[in-house]
Amino acid sequence: MSKNILYRLYALSFVGICLVPTVLMPFVKSSSDKEKRQLAAKPEIKTEDGKLNFGFFDDFDAYFSDHFAFRSKLVNLDGRLKSTLFGTSNTDNVIVGRDGWLYYGETADDFMNINTLSDRAVDNIRRNLELMDEYCKSRGAQFVFTAVPNKNSIYPEYMPFNYIESDNAGNYEKLMNTLSESGFCLDMAEALRSADASIPLYHKTDSHWNNLGAYAGHVRLTEVLGVESCSAGTSWFTRNDRLGDLAAMIYPDEEAKDTNVYNDYEFTYSYEGRFRGLDDLTIKTTAPDKEGKLLMYRDSFGEAILPYMAECFGEAEFSRVVPYRMEGIDGGSVVLEIVERNIGNLQKYAPVMAAPKTDAPENAGVFKGEGVVVKTESSGNFSHVYGELPEEFFADGGSRIFITTADGTFEAFCCFEDKLLEREGEFSDRGFSAYVPQIPRLNPGDVTITAVKSDGTVLKYN
């Protein structure tokens, strides 16, 4: 057999193998369950309004990348080869660490203390939390804020050697420093580092803490709330029964089970209403022979801590709804939990609550320039006023922002409503947002915006 024939057979075999995923694509369906994302939809030649879709080929490329046959098996093989041979990941969402540890890619900047929040943004977040605390106190409730550390903040020793921490203060450290004397902030990193645990408090192949980590956080949280903590039973034991979310991203064709930790305590609380799973947006519980009520705003880290907290209160509500709905608070305990990597979201999406009424700032200069953005909308029982201010309204630090309408003057949250401003995904430390008493057809021109700068000067816009 001549070399030319061999070359042709080799080429045909190579092309044939390459065509298999395409030819079989209609018959082998892809799933996004483990990757926890929405696969690209099949593109259309025309848009919804009947016009030609000029992005068709880009859309088709994304669709094909998500749906070719045997995709999960090939992605799985690629992930195993890269992680085993080179200690790297096949996706930016996962960092392959040492000894089988995986970390969430979005936590890299937090770990290295780069691309951190500005000092003004941290000051904005501090003021936002203070306003929540003041509101809860006015409603007879106790407010506690805590940020759960990223996994690599507690277990940095397994991070790859090429991720180097800078000497700069990170977002978590900045926020804890500015809230150190607030009276409502729980330093969860300190609580976890001081926990007496011979078993790791976080999963190796998942981005979250395990049940033991959540229990350690629960014990410290109930101490701050002045409530007796839930019992841990008589012993802790482990089972390999958790599908790690990070492992599922790079090994989508495997049942990559991780170790979880359990105790033998028998919970007595029960779920109220329809309960589908711990990732429900709202979960309500009751516990027999317990007193008090709890409202806990939480994220995915709240799933593991939920049973322990539910066991300690006669009534409890756990909410993942954003923006936080605080207008119905009436006594009890209020907890706001957020993971370290999302701290910046605390200057987005003002909580739905009556903005505190106050006196209008005096001796204000009048701003005659451009760049002020003021928007209004009706939102339930409120008029929602939000927007963004130019740099002239700020000194070196943050500013307190006040909104004046026909009903009086109210302090706004220092929040940048990116979605409402049609700038989704952007961050700004010059935003404001407040829910004020409803005024029918409130227009931006009916609103006066006043900023009290950190240097004491006052500037207003009308």
Q: For the segment 238-272, what is each residue's pLDDT rounded down to a tens digit?
A: 998 888 899 888 877 677 678 889 999 999 999 99
> How big is the chain by its Cα radius of gyration, in Å?
26
- Cα 430 to Cα 377: distance, rounded to the nearest angstrom: 20
Q: What is the pLDDT of residues 409-450, one digit of tens each?
A: 999 999 999 999 999 999 999 999 999 999 988 999 999 999
Q: What is the pLDDT of residues 312-344, one digit of tens each?
A: 999 999 999 999 999 989 999 999 999 999 999
Tell me the mean pLDDT in the region 269-282.
94
Reference 377, options 291, 460, 444, 279; nearest CA is 444
- Cα 359 to Cα 461: distance, rounded to the nearest angstrom: 16
Q: What is the pLDDT of residues 362-380, one digit of tens each?
A: 999 999 999 999 999 999 9
- Cα 406 to Cα 448: distance, rounded to the nearest angstrom: 10
Reference 305, options 413, 447, 146, 453; nearest CA is 146
* pLDDT above 90: residue 451: yes
Instruction: Confirm if 436 and 446 have CB atoms less than 8 A apart.
Output: no
Q: What is the pLDDT of residues 67-116, one digit of tens each?
A: 544 455 555 555 465 556 556 766 789 999 999 999 999 999 999 999 99
Q: What percent of the chain has pLDDT over 70?
A: 80
**CA angle centred on 56, ends 54 and 59, rounded to 5°:** 130
Per DSSP, the residues of 71-134 read HHHHHHHHHHHIIIIIS--SSTTEEE-GGG-EEEGGGHHHHHT-SPPPHHHHHHHHHHHHHHHH
3-class DSSP assignment, residue 257? strand
- Cα 341 to Cα 104: distance, rounded to the nearest angstrom: 10
Instruction: Confirm if 204 and 101 have CB atoms less than 8 A apart.
Output: yes
Reference 107, options 339, 322, 279; nearest CA is 339
**Given this model, what pLDDT does residue 255 score?**
73
pTM: 0.85
* Residue with the two structure tokens 């805590």: 146
Q: What is the pLDDT of residues 51-70, one digit of tens each?
A: 666 655 565 455 545 554 44
Calculate the dihedral angle through the C-alpha atoms of 264, 265, 268, 274, rounding to the nearest 10 degrees.
-50
The phi and psi torsions of 366 (rounded to 5 degrees) equal -105, 125
* pLDDT above 70: residue 460: yes
Instruction: Confirm if 200 and 155 have CB atoms less than 8 A apart.
Output: yes
**Mean of all residue pLDDT scores within the chain:** 87
- H/E segment holding residue 22: helix 3-23
- Cα 65 to Cα 81: distance, rounded to the nearest angstrom: 20
- Cα 404 to Cα 410: distance, rounded to the nearest angstrom: 6
- Cα 222 to Cα 418: distance, rounded to the nearest angstrom: 35
Instruction: Confirm if 410 and 340 have CB atoms less than 8 A apart.
Output: no
